[in-house]
A and B are shown apart, each in its own frame.
Chain A
């Protein structure tokens, strides 16, 4: 091999070695040769992510030994297939009322303890009574010792009947919720008659709740017959309730907020003022909710409240006589004492 050939081979070999190396490195470092990275999504595997859907159990018990009482329930729905009694509901504006099953835990407890339960269901298409005619509700209340209602909108004459009933030792359990504030025009009249208040909006809690931010826990404000044995209860889409008497029974747990203000709230969700108990929720007595925490205990206590009254239906009229004590100041029953009137 002559000198020129040797030098040419050296040049080509060097040139090829360098470019071949560059090509090889380029190939090895090409994107397609990279191994796809392993993705770790531990947040999907967190054991706390899966919520416990165990329904729970309910045992509604009454402690009262009161003689048989008659409890009238107005579920806010007519008898013919659950059409709401509120005429506005026919236009899609009214609340749905409470179905039979929604009050079954309370009703069953009353029946099992020997009390009579009647359901007030207005006749479909019934015309409102004249000024001097008794209302159908008034006639039913005249035979009752206690009244449970899920309605908030009544005719003026019916509101007077309820007010008279409460003034004459009848115990009233009023269950309302935030929906009524949006679609029922007359709730304030009943509130004024019974001396209670509600607020627009609902209470929610983003951290301490029962499976949904609107299913808030409420805790006793102080020891009382209504909250005896209750540690916490669940209210769903509950609206704050109030009264001019300082006797809140259940307040939302820490961290609860009001939807209309987005601010913390401690306003009560259930109050007791003499002859009236008002709850800012109409769902807490349903079979499913009765099984959550201490809702069953509360329902039992409310059943006791209804039957522990001093009303004598045969002697005390539902009509207003004009000289009775105002609602909230009934004759104190043995286990549900009269609330103190407001000072000043």
Chain B
């Protein structure tokens, strides 16, 4: 046989060398698979929702989701889907730190929907890029707090500051709180802001179209485009999108302005324990209704309920009192449709367009 002749012509050492070369070539074919399996390559973009009032419950969830994303080897990038006008300072700081840590380990893109202001802006600032829609609202870097006022002496507490501090001390504390926020934003985006710190501290808000020019945002783009950018930065050619809901169900809590302070309400029919004063807040107040406004609409709601039974009120809440019935029906129809999709896919209303295998 010619083959045997060739082998016979080679020494044993030469034959082994040839086998080693062949084994190396064959193994090389499998190396990517084996390496990929053991290194567990990331193929998922986690979309973490940051929506509604920034409070402890939302911070708990966002921290947990981002921690899971960091420790889940299949997650290669994170997109923050933001729609919030802010809330509690501490909750904002917690999310800021969590996003900061995540951003140090993988690409993080912030995608602003309607608004990400004040505490919401604080939370997303460490993201690699901020995507906004043309009419999104961002900014409001500052503190909401009433002017400190002296109060009559209260007898009984163990110390003079137990039931209220000195007026000047309160001013100092509030300014420290405000500067903590502004300084953090200057640290994160000082190179992007096209304005000095003094102007940032004005706490103005900007539409997306302006924000991409003054450095409060980086790109005009939708959530899909933010997801694509995140995947691209993570080097994913093919990827999946995993949407993570956070915070309380529904739109709760809601923020309400009173004449004296902001309050967070944790129920549509709140009891005493479901109204939380917020003496200090990182909130864009332009997005927070005054209690007088709510009472005015609630009065209409009550009147409708008295006349139409328990189905009335939706039209008034949506600001359409004249043809509220028809509009309400349409809204309910659309809700039914989306509910159907939700049940089918097990995703949120926004999720279907983001779910599944996506190729750039």
User: What is the interface of chain A, defined by CB distance below 8 A to chain B?
Assistant: 3, 6-7, 10-15, 18-19, 22-27, 29-32, 34, 36-37, 39, 41-44, 46, 49-56, 92, 101, 206-207, 210-213, 215, 287-288, 291-292
Asked whether, in the complex, the Cβ of B34 is within 8 Å of the Cβ of A26, the reply is yes
**CA separation between A290 and B219, bound complex, in Å?**
50
Which of A10, A53, A213: most chain B CB closer than 10 A? Answer: A53
Tell me, rounded to whole Å, the shortest Cβ–Cβ distance linking A230 to chain B.
Answer: 20
**CA separation between A43 and B105, bound complex, in Å?**
21
Asked whether, in the complex, the Cβ of A52 is within 8 Å of the Cβ of B172, the reply is yes
Interface residues of B in 24-55 (CB under 8 A from A): 24, 26-28, 30-31, 34-40, 42
Tell me, rounded to whole Å, the shortest Cβ–Cβ distance linking B205 to chain A.
Answer: 15
Asked whether, in the complex, the Cβ of B42 is within 8 Å of the Cβ of A26, the reply is no
Tell me, rounded to whole Å, the shortest Cβ–Cβ distance linking B323 to chain A.
Answer: 34
Which of B39, B150, B169, B259 is within 8 Å of A26, CB to CB? B39
Q: Does B9 contact A (CB under 8 A)?
A: no
Asked whether, in the complex, the Cβ of B26 is within 8 Å of the Cβ of A39, the reply is no
A-B contact pairs, 22 of them (CB 8 A): A10-B23, A11-B22, A11-B23, A14-B19, A18-B24, A26-B36, A27-B38, A30-B39, A36-B105, A37-B104, A41-B100, A42-B187, A43-B184, A49-B183, A51-B173, A51-B176, A51-B179, A53-B169, A211-B168, A211-B174, A288-B167, A291-B168
Interface size on B, residues (CB 8 A): 52
Asked whether, in the complex, the Cβ of B168 is within 8 Å of the Cβ of A206, the reply is no
Nearest A residue (CB) for B40 = A30
Q: What 8 A-B pairs come out closest when comparing CB atoms? A: A53-B172, A26-B38, A14-B23, A26-B39, A53-B169, A18-B27, A211-B171, A51-B172
Tell me, rounded to whole Å, the shortest Cβ–Cβ distance linking A29 to chain B.
Answer: 6
Asked whether, in the complex, the Cβ of B73 is within 8 Å of the Cβ of A31, the reply is yes
Asked whether, in the complex, the Cβ of A3 is within 8 Å of the Cβ of B36, the reply is no
Which of A6, A23, A101 is within 8 Å of B34, CB to CB? A23
Asked whether, in the complex, the Cβ of B35 is within 8 Å of the Cβ of A39, the reply is no
Asked whether, in the complex, the Cβ of A212 is within 8 Å of the Cβ of B37, the reply is no
User: Cβ of A19: which chain B residues have Cβ within 8 Å of it?
Assistant: 27, 30-31, 34
Name 6 extra pairs, CB < 8 A, besides A24-B38, A53-B166: A19-B30, A32-B73, A51-B175, A53-B171, A55-B166, A287-B150
**CA separation between A36 and B174, bound complex, in Å?**
34
Tell me, rounded to whole Å, the shortest Cβ–Cβ distance linking B301 to chain A.
Answer: 24
Tell me, rounded to whole Å, the shortest Cβ–Cβ distance linking B259 to chain A.
Answer: 8
Known: A7-B16, A51-B179. A39 touches B38 (CB 8 A): no
**CA separation between A53 and B168, bound complex, in Å?**
6
User: What is the interface of chain B, defined by CB distance below 8 A to chain A?
Assistant: 12, 15-16, 19-20, 22-24, 26-28, 30-31, 34-40, 42, 70-71, 73, 97, 100-101, 104-105, 150, 166-176, 179-180, 183-184, 186-187, 198-199, 201-202, 259
**CA separation between A207 and B199, bound complex, in Å?**
10
Asked whether, in the complex, the Cβ of A53 is within 8 Å of the Cβ of B173, the reply is yes
User: Cβ of B39: which chain A residues have Cβ within 8 Å of it?
Assistant: 25-27, 29-30
Asked whether, in the complex, the Cβ of A14 is within 8 Å of the Cβ of B175, the reply is no
Asked whether, in the complex, the Cβ of A10 is within 8 Å of the Cβ of B16, the reply is yes
Known: A44-B184, A53-B168. A15 touches B26 (CB 8 A): yes
**CA separation between A330 and B206, bound complex, in Å?**
53
Which of B30, B171, B198: most chain A CB closer than 10 A? Answer: B171
User: Cβ of B183: which chain A residues have Cβ within 8 Å of it?
Assistant: 43-44, 46, 49
Asked whether, in the complex, the Cβ of A39 is within 8 Å of the Cβ of B97, the reply is yes
Known: A26-B34, A212-B175. A39 touches B167 (CB 8 A): no
Tell me, rounded to whole Å, the shortest Cβ–Cβ distance linking B125 to chain A.
Answer: 12
Nearest B residue (CB) for A20 = B34
**CA separation between A110 and B171, bound complex, in Å?**
29
Nearest B residue (CB) for A214 = B147
Tell me, rounded to whole Å, the shortest Cβ–Cβ distance linking A281 to chain B.
Answer: 13
**CA separation between A56 and B167, bound complex, in Å?**
11
